[in-house]
Structure 1
Amino acid sequence: MSEQPAASYPVDDTNRIKRRHQRAHYDHATVHALLDSAALCHVSYVIDGQPYCTPTLYWREGTTLYWHGSSASRMLRNLSEGQPACLTVTQLDSLVLARSAFHHSADYRSVMAFGHAKLIEDEPEKSRALTMMVDRLFPGRTATLRPTTEQELKATAVVSMEIEKASAKVRAAGVIDDDEDYALAIYAERIPVRTVIGAPEPDSRLLPGLARPATLSGFNAGRRLDEVLTEAYAMSYPAG
């Protein structure tokens, strides 16, 4: 029995990697894994001919991306009718020092996702999405919190975007120099870069006797953030 080809996003001039195409990935597995390993994205869009790029928290459900913001946000007010948008995520893995300025580089993992962003108008769906905004990072936490008020719900807008096209680009090569340059007496190296969890800082106004919940045990000092977020996503969405 032949294997089914891996699910991939369609490729055209919008998302095709044109430079260093060997670093390109269009399959769902690679794109989704990178999206799930981060929490902060940048969303780009155009309003009246003026480009904007906004950082925000986001999360993924299947092939749909969600992000949130203030209901008064200019960005979100202009996404109510299916505005074309591009959401990007980047993980910086190293700085690369080569023997020439031309070959100085970085190792990285990045995603560009394209679609039409729309405000979620349905109140139950909006409420569910806001629950997952928290639980995607901290599985099960919303159930332990005081209920969201009607005013808070009205003050927060949620956007969804079906991923119509996407591409991932990954560099993990370290130092790459021209062959003749390896004989030069010039120092070269790869400097790994990691975002790690720091030591928790409990709020100074906690009630006496409150212990740190066991559900936060993954957020331990020294752990890589991308690994912690990937674990949290798998707990919140076990089906992937």
Structure 2
Amino acid sequence: MKPTKKTKVKRLPIRGFYDKETVYKILDANFICQIGFIHEGFPVVIPTIFGRKGDELYIHGASVSRMLTDLAKGISLSLNVTQTNGIVLARSAFNSTLNYESVVVFGQAELIVDENEKVAALETITNQIIPNRWQEVRLPNAKELKVTSVLKIKIDEASAKIRTGAPHDDIADCDLPIWAGVIPIEKHYGKPIADPVLKVGIPLPKSVKCLIK
């Protein structure tokens, strides 16, 4: 993707990336995004689950959702995904920061009306959270599909920004008796907690075992 006026990273441009491989890698490692749009004249940012397949992102929710109703009209939106990988402790408060990977997508959403495409998009969203979970669950019925809206967002205007490595202290500060370095942040899944009314003898599904191993 070529950088545009909206996607070009202006602050520390060396940290900006525009290739699909980098953008998609960050998107695929996450499943929560923040979507910004204008609702009745004021800005709104709402978190939601997403899924990616090819060059499209999918989001879903109740058909009466304010966000989905507005976005289905084709208004402009911005979408952000951020993954924090470390706390960067510099010797000065000014130079302390975070290591991160982030993606921003600009565009419009389109309501999916074809039922087969809608179901396929819901599968993508479900498997974005836990790969292959869709194959283990009861699929949506006609009533559930009727009260659910699914939108797709084309990824054709996007950029990534990444910071890695050690703190960048002023040379004079390096002589100060203050500890500096990086505290890594890692994603970790805990031990699954069964539903209190789960029937006896039902084992952990394969998708969960693969996720927590």
Answer whether TM exceeds 0.5 for this pair: yes
Cα distance per residue 1:48-94 (max 9 Å; x no partner): 32111110100111111111111111010111232211111001011
Report the counterpart of residue 187 of structure 1 in structure 2: 179
Question: Unaligned stretches of 5+ in structure 1?
Answer: 1-8, 222-240
State the 1:129 CA deviation: 1.2
Instruction: Give the alignment partner of residue 200 of structure 2, picking from 185, 205, 208.
Output: 208
Give the AA of the match of 1:219. L
Report the counterpart of residue 153 of structure 1 in structure 2: 145
- Aligned: 1:123 with 2:112: no
Higher deviation after alignment, 13-22 or 136-145: 136-145
What SS does the corresponding residue of 2:210 show, helix, strand or coil?
A: coil
Indicate conservation of the 8 Å contact 1:83/1:118, yes or no: no
Question: Unaligned stretches of 5+ in structure 2?
Answer: none
Indicate conservation of the 8 Å contact 1:24/1:167, yes or no: yes
Instruction: Give the alignment partner of residue 22 of structure 1, picking from 14, 19, 33.
Output: 14
Indicate conservation of the 8 Å contact 2:52/2:124, yes or no: no
State the 1:127 CA deviation: 1.8
Aligned residues: 213
- Aligned: 1:101 with 2:93: yes
Matches within 5 A, 1:16-95: 16-95=8-87
- TM-score normalized by the length of structure 2: 0.94
- Relative to 1, partners in 2 of residues 1:74 and 1:178: Cα closer, same or farther, differing over 3 Å? same
Aligned identity (percent) is 38
Q: CA RMSD in A?
A: 1.5
Higher deviation after alignment, 63-72 or 133-142: 133-142
Higher deviation after alignment, 42-51 or 29-38: 42-51
State the 1:173 CA deviation: 2.2
What SS does the corresponding residue of 2:3 show, helix, strand or coil?
A: coil
What SS does the corresponding residue of 1:132 show, helix, strand or coil?
A: helix
Indicate conservation of the 8 Å contact 2:15/2:162, yes or no: yes
Q: What is the rounded CA distance, in whole Å, between the counterparts of 2:161 and 2:195 in structure 1?
A: 39
